[in-house]
Amino acid sequence: MSQHRPTAVLRDFFCEHTPSKSRVLALVGHQDGPDSLQAVLTCREPELAHYAAELLRALRSGSDAPS
C-alpha cells in the first residue's frame, strides 16, 4: 500500500482590507511550487475578519479559541 503525501500544507491565515470589504486568506504551502494565498471568507466588518483569522489559526494549531 502506498503512502499518501500531501501536496499542499496550510501554513497560516491573514486578513486583507479594502474600503468596501475584508477578506480572510489562507496561506497554503505547495510541495512543488511557491506558496499561495486563497480567500476563505469575505465580509464587510474588519473586526469580524480579524476574529475569523484568529479562530482559524487557533483551530489549526489545536489551541483554545480566542474569546
pLDDT in tens, 5-28: 668 889 999 999 999 999 999 999
pLDDT in tens, 46-56: 999 999 999 99
Q: CA–CA separation, 26 vs 55, rounded Å?
A: 12
Strand positions, DSSP E, the chain? 8-17, 22-30, 33-43
pLDDT in tens, 29-41: 998 889 999 999 9
